Structure formats: structure tokens, C-alpha cells
Structure 1
């Protein structure tokens, strides 16, 4: 059987990255975080093994949670003197079974006494890590229809124990990822799974009671967590694996590992009970010989690969934010998303950021080359999205050859040839003009060769209708949440420019702003400071520094400036596409002064929802006018928010994706 075979599988070696509470530590009374009005009730069934229970509780005391919770220990008539010791722990609710009820009976008893809206069943041979509880609760807040959320389980020595689990059609179970490396990105993204181990399992209290808790037919233990997951799905809810909740599990401490003796023998006995109860549902489960990597995705969701130059990071640039929001939408629309950067590099934080959206990041050293990965996934892919012409050009033939049935989508991000043409005109640089011509040929060839092309601006869509009239071109602009105005006119001061020096139009804009525009503003109003946000090299910072100029560099959260500044600036003199800095400011209700280029393609009109100035004098005078005119400021703020809702919302992007993607 698969479940038994896993017990003897060769084991990988990994170095643990956490500090464990020692079960051998001498007991001294301590206090757990506790709430009189808990949102979550943590239920820990206990039968002996007091040192491990104490270590578990010390880890909870050490890490706590942002969410109010209570801890309920259900002592199942333990043979040792644990009750007396546990009674000395502050904040702990201690229930004592009059007779031994087994794991299932103890869990159900704890659930009956729980006061929280959610139950978190936790084995006493576990230890928690930061975020253990809060990240599970995230699933119920962020994932529609979440019924169960479960943790990533690891062994104390650093090996992975479980990243969700699979049930095959013969009722065999398989802990996905067992004995592998826990930080492999294929284990770091949220996804639906067949079941979650009861070692760390969260469920809404009302739902648990609706389905009558753990089924007592599996008493004293084993298969009760699998059965619960099937019952939850039968109630129309989802079972979700949450990798950001990391639990260390000393597996086998309570029940042992001998399948022929003790409680562990019920792992075999209860399989037949489970198979009989769920016979009809099991017919649609994967066959026993199905590879785990395929079986874990047997929900048959359509699969898309997205290939871009770099792994997106929302704090880096607006293109990253747009792509992240597109991936979020794809997940909501029922797609399984895999992502690969052209250089196959991704940081742990970037992997986890995408993992929250259910995206599997393919990167070094974990994933193979693009060619090998496509070969292995050719039968699962319904679509491939290639972003930017310099990424799409060298990879299009490979994608067509290895995934001939996949629809190929070219996401221009912006039309590079248009931006480069404008840069050449602005600088009269012949080398840039030559580069623009080369980009034009490459981009037009891709547009004609791909099934669908995405552009961000109606100006670009109109241009391509002339340049490539036979191509299918869809408008999929920037995608923004509407954050709203969180501070009024009088509570704000100063100006802000957002944009890193990795994008040449930003370099020109900042230099123009510092050399020509800001001196005019400062001459009239020396109290108006200028804040620059974005990656700016140290050498450039020295040139830009001056009275009233604050260079913050790249920041993790721009909200303080969106809330605190009175005017956002976009003095771009060339470029293409839609400007994320303008959209972002407007999504926060922050009025914008921009050039015509910066306002292009966004349904913006001078004096209505934006102020426009194309030379230093008009730009500076527009800033000064807006800065002191509260009525104008409020009108631009309100109408800028309306513009985001109408043209750059998730609903507009969702419709564009539906038109571009193959039908589900």
C-alpha cells in the first residue's frame, strides 16, 4: 500500500532552520496567551507523553498569534501524572475524560467545549512556528469556500513530512512531499488537496458540528482526518493546503510506527471502512500507480504557464503589480498557474508572495530547464503566456514545438518599439532609433505568430489594428484595487514621484523634475518637499540630492506616501503603455499632475481627473495650483478614483482574460 510504502522510502537530508523546545527541559510553570472571547479554539488531545505536550505548549507560549485564541487540552485518561502538571499552566483550559475515548473521542469532546468560531486540531507531538495559526485563518478570509486549512508539516531534522495529501482510488493515502526538501517551491504554494493531516487542521466550528465532527466509526484513530475532508467537500467546501503555516511534527511519538501493533494498526483496519463509505467518490480519484506530482493536481483545472523576464515583485515596478494581479485573477477564474522567470531566479519572499495566490514558481535549483519542464507538462498545459518581446522571441518556437495544443498569448507589457521610437525622437539618438526599428520587427513578428496579443493601452490597440490588422489584440491594462482616500486635503503635504531607475523614462523624468520643475516650485513655495521612491543608484542619489529632496529608494509599502502627500507627479517625456505610477496614486485618491505622455491611454482629461503640463513652467504652475486649491483637489481625487473603478478594475481585466484564454 502507498501509505505503508512511504514509511520505507529513502530519505532526503536537510538542515532545519528553527529552534525547538526540548522535551527534556525541566518543568517550570508558565502562562499561555488566552482570550475570553477567542476566535480560534486550539484543541490538543493528550494520552501520556507529557514532555512532548509541554514542549508543544511552550512553543505556543513563545510564538503566540495575532488572532485571539484559547488552548484546550483534552486529557484522555492518561496513565501518567500529567494532569497535575498541566494544571499549573496559566491560560490553559484542561478537560479530563472520565475514561479513555481515543483520539477521535477526545477531539470531538474538545470541539464540544470550544468557544471559538474556528477549531484548530493540533497533535501534542508538534511544535509551532511564527504564523502557525494566523496563516491558516488567512485561508478562510481569502479563499472562497474554504472548509479546511492545513499546515506544512516537517520533521524535527528538517525533512518534509507532508504538503497536503493524496487519496488514490483504492483508498490508499500518500503524504505529498514526504522526506523531500520543505523549501522546494512546489511545496510553497496554496492549493486544494484531498485531505489534511489531523496533526494541524483548522475548520470552522459550525461546519464541524454540521457534519457531526470526526466519524466515530474510525475510533480510536486513523482515516478520521481523511474522512472529514471528504465530508467537507461533500458539503460544498474546499480543503486547502497552506504552506505558510509551518508545524514541526515528531511523528509517531504517541501512536508509534508499528503497523501491526497498538493504535497504529488501525491505519490498516480503517482503510476498508473508509473505502466502503466513500466507494462512489473514490471512483474519480487517481489510480494507485499515478505519479504523486500528477495525482496532487487531479482536480483537472486548466493549466497555464507564464514566462516573464524576472519574477514579479509588487514593490519593484508597476509591471510586476499588473502581472501579480493577473495571476490572482487567473486563480479566481479556475486556472492552475505556473510561473518561470527567463533567468529562473526567484527569492524565497517572491516565491511565497506568488504562493499566496496559488502560483507554483519554477526556479533554480528546484525546477528543470524550460524545455524539460514543457516536455513533462505538455499534456497538462492549455495556455502559455509569454511576456515582453525579448523573452517571447527566443522561446516561442520551443513552446510551439513542445506544447502544440496550448494557446500562446503574447503579453507586450507595453509596446517596446513605440517607447524606443519616442526615446529616439526625444534624444535624437540614432542608436536608439535603430534599436526601435529592430524591436518593431520582432514585436510585429510575434504579434502575427501568437494566438492572442495583450496590450495595456487603447492607443497601442489602435496602432496595432493598423500595423497588424489580422492579429487578435486584446486590451488588458493595469489592474488595481481601489484603496480609496484615507486622508483629507488638510492632513497632507509635499509631493511624491514613484519610479525606479531601471526604466529609462523614469531617469529622464527625475532629472527633468530636479533640474527644471522643482526649482520653480520651490521658488514659490519653499515649504513643499519632494519625495522620490524607487531604486536609484547611489551615484545618482548624490546628483539628485538637495534642499527639500528626500530620496527614500525602494520601499516595501508606499501607503504612507499615498496617504500623507498632497500631489503625485508624473513628468514623463517619453514612454509607452499605461503608467502604473498614475494609476496607483489615483487608486489611493491622490491627485496627479502629469505630462501628456504620462496620461496617455487612460481616459484622463486635463482639469477633470488630472492636471497636465508638458513644459517646466506649465507643469510647475499646475502643481502649485493644485496644492492650494482644495475644491480642485477633491474633484480630481474623486474622479481619479472613478477612473480606476471604470477602466482599471479587476472586473475589466477578468473580461479581457476570458476573451484571450481558451474556454474552460
Structure 2
């Protein structure tokens, strides 16, 4: 596609914004950190590479034994009719990579005339059920379900090669997604191409394998999502739900459309039907039934389509026309579609802003929306992109996401709301969104008011150049607020400021979003102090330097054995150098923050400037860990000194508060209890649910 004037404008806005932010970074972070950030910003990461498919080596042979749990979580039911070689390869694959979940394997022999009975009867652990007469796929599956003991039934064709980890992934949505009723695997051809990424049903009853012959890494097919139906070649369903629905309906005997009918009945019961891309199963399509719909058992597909269309005519009226190719817009047609644009893919294990954004996506999905995420940089961020996909977020990245103009031209018309994070990202994308998604409500998420943070930093440093840069940021941020339909801030204090600076703006408070953790170890089993915060954020660098150089010596004078744990990614040299001080441990990024939340006695927030709501405070309080902070750090957080938190603004007051809390178990327990209550009341998912519904999910669909 050729370059357009819109592309040129977009790149010009990006270049000017990057230049301005680079100059500001030089003054606040120094040249070394600024250079590292620039390389990260301009570098392009390749999309993740697909792992090669696994196949059994050599000739098909029966495994000597297969896993068998006496109290299985899942029962794998495999219907077979002849085709022993396929069955043996399927069982070899299962035996080679046992799942973490306890399982049993049930093979239902539907009257095979070959050596199936002799071969399978010798496999230790396998439950073998033989039908005397051939009744077809439906009868065999229902018989297998009848003797199953697992909480979940997993129906698996014998002409499949399940890939490592497939079953645990197939069962995962039942724990992570509310009201899940049926989950289908990603089916692939032996050459690695997609066979099915969930099924699409049309208003005439015809069905289509979404993604057929496509690339499994294509963003359209790589995330957990609702599907019209999922192929019975590899599906999971709660056993009690299957039985309450009467199993596969014999109306479609011997086979075909029974899986589509089951999906419609599951959905009618109030449960969801999901496609799980992480459950990869290779399927030799047609190995047992052929592919010719004019002859053999495959001919039942045409007859059963008519039966299905008659039975579900009322529901099918809301489905699309078969003449229109399925697309991301059509497969999510029943849900409000929300596009979120940010500079980079969120990294919730690194910073509180990312945690807030991921939890917002989770909350939107739980309230019934379909969420799409586009990083301005268009990179695949490895496990962080995969985290979004596992949640059910349609996450985009290059090369599948083209230039911003082209991508929005294609996808813009499907969105009900577009949320753009950070003023410099909004400055680039807002004109494109207005042009290509004119129907969408535009929400500007400030993350925090950048100009307020910069003003405070300039005042603390007494730097006139920083003050002028803050004034420029203020003008840019207020301009974006004026051109957006709604602006999100994280505190009532910031809403009050915008009531003065942008009185015409519609502003809503959507603060940090946290889930309460366990309350960790008791007071007597905890020790030391901890700070958590990413060091790309200049206020965090200033905070730990001030604490270590001016406050910590006063604390060590009273408690000589006290240690200070400094945790956060992208550690600059000035912070790393603090490790030379006695008792200071600079850990950098820690993948699992839990041990420090559960084991350190006090969390610190010694910020001397900043804006927004401090995730580090919420994080600690959610774990039952009391906090000592400055007034700036607790701004807008509904906290009271002495009740939920201790506050100190100069070195002497801060050190005294730390020592007092460290030594007073009763005060410690009181602050721990009240801090958790504060998170539940103001910063939990439940507390934000109504605001999210009002901002994103009301109005005409």
C-alpha cells in the first residue's frame, strides 16, 4: 500500500514528540539512560517464533502404559472405529507428554473389525470400552461420557496428535473466565497451517473454520475468544453440564453438526463457548470420514446442516450472511468492541500503570466487552503479549499490524470506544482515530497528569528549563483533553485540578486496580524495609537517592541491623551506586515480588514529587504490608496519617515514622488492616466496576 498524507502527518507528529521527550529525558535522566530508552523505542522486535510441531517417531506402536488418575480432573474420551495406526499415534502423543492435571483416558471402540481390541487391551492404565455394534461418533462419545469420572469431559478424535501442554491449556479457561461452558482447541494441519481457530456459523446454518490455512501467529487467531462453535475433534466441557444437556444429540446420528448443536445449547444455557489457541492439536482432517460430502458418512454433513438450521432458526437469525467473509469485526459482532492504544505492551510485573491497564482489560472482558490492544510500536512483547492473549485480548503486532493509518482504516469502523493512553500517544493517533473511527467514543487516559508531575519536578530542582518544558506539556495535555470525548484521571485531586484547568472537559476517575492478596507473614516473622518502583520514572530515582542518602542513616542509627531492599527494573548507575551504602540491597527487577510483600515489615514511598496514585502503596497495602510515605506519595489515595499510613516529609520525620512503626506491633497490625480495607474500598476491581460500565459499556451498540 502506498504512503498517504495521513501517514506523513502521523510520522511527523511522532518524530516531533520523540524529539521533545528526548530533550526532556536528557535533563532529567542523563544521556546514558536516554540513549538506552531511545534504542528500545526505535528497535523492532520480531514476532515470536512458532515452536515446531511434535510427532511420534517411527512406526505407530502402542505405549506400554498411559497416565491414569484414580480421581481425575478430566476424562479424555477417544471414539475409534478402525484406523488403528491413527489411534496408536494419538495415544503415543498423550503418553509422551502427560498433563499436569490428573486425567484418565477412555477409548471407546465403536465395533472395529481390525486389531484395535487386541492392541489397546494391553495398555496399562487405559480404560477400554467396546461397543458390539457400530453406532457412530455420537453414540461412542455419549457412551464414553457415561463411564467418565472426571470433572471435565475432553472429547478427542483418534486422528489427532495433541501437542505438549494442550490439555492444561484447554482446561485453563474454566478457571480464568467466568461462565465458561465449552472450550475448543486450535487445530492445525500436519504442515503447521491452521485448520481451525474456532468456528463461524452463518444464518443459513453453514459453518466455516475460522483461520483455515492461515498462520497460527496471525493476531486474528492467537488470542482466547468466544466462538460460534468449536470442532468436536478436541473440546472440553464440564461433565455435569454435558449430562444436563443430554450429551451429543442423537438427532444428528451418526455424526456431523452435533458439535455445532452442542455449542448452541451451551450458549443457550448461559455459558460461553471459547476457542483456546494455546491448546494446539494436529488433526489429520478426514482421516476417518473422508472429505467428500457427496458420499459415505461425510454425506450426513449436508443432511444435518438442514436439521441444525431448522432446530436453531430463531438463534441463527442474528448471525451473518455466508456471502461475507468472516473478519475480526464479524466474529465479535455481539460484543462491544473496545480498542486500547498505548505506547508499548503493558508489563504488569514491572510498573503499576501496566497493572492498572491489564486489570482494566480484565474487567472489561468480565463485563462482556471484546478488547483489542494496539501498541504504537507494533512489537510482539513475548510473554507480556501472550498474557493479554490468554486473557482474551486481541493483541496486535507487526507484521500482521501494518502502519497505523492502514490498520485503522481497516479496523476503525468496528469500535464502539477507542481509549488512547498518554498525551504523546494521543497526539499521534487522535487525528487518525477521528478519521477512521468517527463512530467511536474517544477516551483519553492520562495515566497520571504528566504536566503536574513535571511542574513539581521542576520546582524541586529549581530548573527554569524544566519549568518551561512542563508548561509545554501542560499545553499539549490540555489540548488532547479538549479534543477527546472523555478523560480518565486516577484521583479526585487530579479531577479537581482539571476542573480549574479544563472546565469544559468530561472527566472520570478510574484509579489503580488491584486484587487483594493474602496478608502475608505476621509482624514477628517480618523484617527489613522495601521500596518497589520502576526507575524509568524519574521521581522514583529521586526518591531512593533521598532516602538512602538522608533518611536511612538516621534509621540505621536506631536499628543498626536494618536492611533496605530496593526493587525495580531499568536501574540507572546512580541507583546501582547506592548499594555501596551499608544495608542497602539493589535487586533490580524481581519476577516474583510476593516474597518481599509477604516478608518485609514496612514498605516505603519516599517520593518528593510526582502525580497520580501510587501503585507501590496500593500493592503493599493489598498484601497487608504497612506503608510509610510522604504527603506527595499519598495524595488522592483516601489515606489518613496514623490510621492507614504514616506520613513524614523531611528526613527526620520520615525516619522517626519508620522506627516507630517497625517497633510497634499493635500500630503495625492496625495500619495493615486499615490499608487492606482502603484498597478494597477504593482501588479494587469491584470498586471500579460501575465507572468502567458507565464509561465504556453504556449507549447504543
TM over 0.5: yes
- Which residue is equivalent to 1:582? 617
C-alpha change, 1:55 and 1:628, in structure 2 (3 Å) is farther
Call closer, same or farther: CA 1:435–1:145 in 2, change over 3 Å.
same
1:622: which partner in 2? 657
Contact 1:484 1:641 in 2 (8 A): no
- Name the counterpart of 1:499: 533
Query: What do the CA deviations read for 1:379-410 (whole angstroms, capped 9, x no partner)?
Result: 32211111111111122122112222211111
Secondary structure (helix, strand or coil) at the match of 1:186 reads coil
Q: Distance in 2 between matches of 1:28 and 1:275?
A: 41
Question: Hey, what's the Cα distance between the residues in 2 that align with 1:16 and 1:213?
Answer: 36
Contact kept, 8 Å, 1:229 with 1:239, in 2: the verdict is: yes
1:131 Cα deviation after fit: 3.1
Q: How does 1:542-553 map to 2 (within 5 A)?
A: 542-546=576-580, 547-553=582-588
Which whole-Å CA distance do the structure 2 matches of 1:557 and 1:31 have between them?
A: 38
Q: Go from structure 1 to structure 2 and tell me whether the alpha carbon gap of 1:398 and 1:159 turns closer, same or farther (over 3 Å shift).
A: same
Counterpart position of 2:386: 352
Does residue 442 of the first structure (1) align with residue 476 of the second (2)? yes
Query: What does residue 467 of structure 1 align with?
Result: 501
CA distance in 2, matches of 1:609, 1:542: 31
Task: Select 1:364's aligned residue among 398, 409, 416.
Answer: 398
Please tell me whether residue 656 in structure 1 is matched to residue 691 in structure 2: yes
**CA distance, structure 2, for counterparts of residue 504 and residue 295 of structure 1:** 41
Q: 1:57 to 1:28 in 2, by over 3 A?
A: closer
Deviation of residue 15 (structure 1)?
Answer: 8.5
Q: Would the aligned equivalents of 2:661 and 2:667 in 1 still touch at CA under 8 Å?
A: yes
- For 2:50 and 2:414, the matched residues in 1 are separated by 34
- Matched residues, number: 651
Question: Alignment partner for residue 560 of structure 1, among 590, 595, 600?
Answer: 595
Alignment of 1:285-324 (within 5 A): 285-293=319-327, 296-297=330-331, 299-324=333-358
Q: Is 2:564 aligned against 1:530?
A: yes
Q: Say which SS state the counterpart of residue 327 (structure 2) adopts.
A: helix
Asked if structure 2 preserves the Cα contact closer than 8 Å seen for 1:16 and 1:157, the reply is: no
Aligned pair partner of 2:126 in 92, 99, 113: 92
Q: Which residue of structure 2 aligns with residue 385 of structure 1?
A: 419
User: Partner residue of 1:11?
Assistant: none
Residue of structure 1 equivalent to 2:186: 152
The corresponding residue for 1:10 is none
Aligned to 1:7: none
What's the CA shift string for 1:570-625, capped at 9, x where partnerless? 11111000000001100111101111111111011211111111122222222122
Deviation at residue 267 of structure 1 after TM alignment:
2.3
Assess if the C-alpha contact under 8 Å between 2:187 and 2:280 holds in 1: yes
Residue-by-residue CA offset, 1:146-191 (whole Å, 9 max, x unaligned): 2111111112221111110011112211100011110122212222
Name the counterpart of 1:631: 666
Deviations 1:334-380 (A, max 9, x none): 22211111111232322221122221112111112222222223432
- Deviation per residue, 1:57-80 (Å, 9 max, x gap): 222223222222111011112222
**Is 2:679 aligned against 1:644?**
yes
Structural mapping, 1:159-174, within 5 Å: 159-174=193-208
Within the alignment, does 1:266 sit opposite 2:312 as a pair?
A: no
1:398 maps to what in 2?
A: 432
The answer to whether the 8 A contact 2:99-2:168 is kept is yes
Aligned to 2:151: 117
2:323 is paired with a residue of what secondary structure?
A: coil
User: Does 2:369 match 1:335?
Assistant: yes
Query: Structure 1 residue 304: deviation in Å?
Result: 1.6
Superposed CA offset, 1:418-455 (max 9, x none):
00000001111222111100011011112122111111
User: 1:187 aligns to what SS in structure 2?
Assistant: coil
2:274 counterpart residue number = 240
Question: Are 2:471 and 1:432 equivalent residues in the alignment?
Answer: no
Query: For 1:266, what is the secondary structure of its paired residue?
Result: helix
What's the offset of the Cα at 1:643?
Answer: 0.5
Q: Could you say if the C-alpha distance between residues 148 and 571 of structure 1 is closer, same or farther in structure 2, counting changes exceeding 3 Å? A: same
Query: In the alignment, which residue of structure 2 is the partner of 1:455?
Result: 489
Matched, 1:373 2:407: yes
User: In the superposition, relative to structure 1, how do residues 26 and 397 fare at CA in structure 2: closer, same or farther (>3 Å)?
Assistant: closer
CA deviation after TM superposition for structure 1 residue 274, in Å: 1.9
Aligned to 2:41: none
Deviates further, 245-254 or 156-165? 245-254
Q: Is the 8 A contact 1:76 1:106 kept in 2?
A: yes
Alignment partner, residue 247 of structure 2: 213
The SS at the match of 1:120 is strand
Q: Distance in 2 between matches of 1:555 and 1:254?
A: 51
Distance 2:357 2:520 in 1: 26
Deviation at 1:520, TM superposition (A): 2.5
Structure 1 residue 288: deviation in Å? 0.8
Residue 102 of structure 1: aligned partner: 136
Deviation at 1:123, TM superposition (A): 1.0
2:169 corresponds to which of 125, 135, 159: 135
Q: Give the aligned partner of residue 632 of structure 2.
A: 597
Q: Any idea what SS the aligned residue of 2:287 has?
A: coil
The CA distance in 2 between the partners of 1:401 and 1:96, in whole Å, is 63
Q: Which has the larger displacement, 267-276 or 624-633?
A: 267-276
Contact between 2:76 and 2:103, CA under 8 Å: does it hold in 1?
Answer: yes
Q: CA deviation at 1:19?
A: 4.6
Distance 2:518 2:412 in 1: 43
The Cα of 1:29 is off from its aligned counterpart by 4.2
Instruction: Give 1:333 shift.
Output: 2.2
Distance 2:209 2:60 in 1: 34
Matched, 1:45 2:118: no
TM-score using structure 2 length: 0.89
Structure 2 residue ranges without an equivalent (≥5): 1-47
Q: Decide whether aligned partners of structure 1 residues 540 and 125 sit closer, same or farther in structure 2, where only a CA change above 3 A counts.
A: farther
Structure 1 runs not aligned, ≥5 long? 1-13
Segments ≥4 residues shifted beyond 4 Å: none
Give the stretch that moved more between structures: 127-136 or 87-96.
127-136
Alpha-carbon RMSD across the aligned residues, in angstroms, is 1.9
Measure, in 1, the Cα distance between the counterparts of 2:63 and 2:384.
41
* Mapped contact 1:483–1:587 kept (Cα < 8 A): yes
Aligned ranges for residues 73-84 of structure 1 at < 5 Å? Answer: 73-84=107-118
What is the CA–CA distance in structure 1 between the aligned matches of 2:379 and 2:83, rounded to whole Å?
44
Give me the whole-angstrom Cα distance separating, in 2, the residues matched to 1:472 and 1:623.
Answer: 41
* Distance (whole Å) between structure 2 residues aligned to residue 255 and residue 20 of structure 1: 24
Contact kept in structure 1, 2:224 and 2:393, CA below 8 Å: yes
Q: Is the 8 A contact 1:309 1:387 kept in 2?
A: yes
**1:174 aligned counterpart, secondary structure:** strand
User: CA-to-partner distance for each residue in 1:508-545, whole Å, 9 max, x for gaps?
Assistant: 11222222222332333232222221113374464122
The CA distance in 2 between the partners of 1:39 and 1:215, in whole Å, is: 25
